[in-house]
């Protein structure tokens, strides 16, 4: 599962640098997570680092992107090997 930043985001800028996959970027109003790059930190850390540092707890499991731990790990391996990335939905 990818993660999603809700509209409760206060644009505090702490999540973006914590993402090892560079999946977080500033959107039009709040930060956004690219589900094609988000592995919930699988392959890097035991827990999603953006969730760990978020002061308002506005990062949730994306309701429309369901992935198993194995799928997240496969995505991680594809990202680190430079495999072709799918466009953001």
- Between CA 86 and CA 6 the distance in angstroms is 23
Predicted local distance difference test score (pLDDT) of residue 86: 47
Predicted local distance difference test score (pLDDT) of residue 82: 83
Structure tokens at 73: 């790990």
49 within some domain:
yes
Predicted local distance difference test score (pLDDT) of residue 83: 63
35 within some domain:
yes
Give pLDDT tens digits for 52-71.
Answer: 999 999 999 999 999 999 99
- Between CA 53 and CA 86 the distance in angstroms is 28
Give pLDDT tens digits for 6-47.
Answer: 999 999 999 999 999 999 999 999 999 999 999 999 999 999
46 within some domain:
yes
pLDDT at 84 over 90: no
The answer to whether 10 and 29 have CB atoms below 8 angstroms apart is: no
73 within some domain:
yes
**Total tally of structural domains belonging to the chain:** 1
In this prediction, residue 88 has a pLDDT band, given cuts at 50, 70 and 90, of: very low
89 within some domain:
no
Residue predicted with more confidence, 59 or 84: 59
Q: Give 30's strand partners.
A: none
CATH number for the domain spanning 57: value is 3.30.70.20
29 within some domain:
yes
Predicted local distance difference test score (pLDDT) of residue 89: 44
Domain with 29, as residue range(s), is: 3-80
């Amino acid at each position: 599962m990818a993660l999603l930043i809700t509209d409760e985001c206060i644009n505090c800028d702490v999540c973006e640098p914590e993402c090892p996959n560079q999946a977080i970027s500033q959107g039009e109003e709040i930060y956004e997570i690219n589900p094609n790059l988000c592995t919930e930190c699988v392959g890097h850390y035991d827990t999603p680092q953006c969730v760990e540092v978020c002061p308002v707890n506005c990062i949730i499991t994306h309701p429309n992107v369901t992935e198993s731990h194995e799928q997240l790990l496969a995505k991680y391996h594809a990202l680190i090997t430079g495999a072709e990335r799918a466009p953001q939905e």
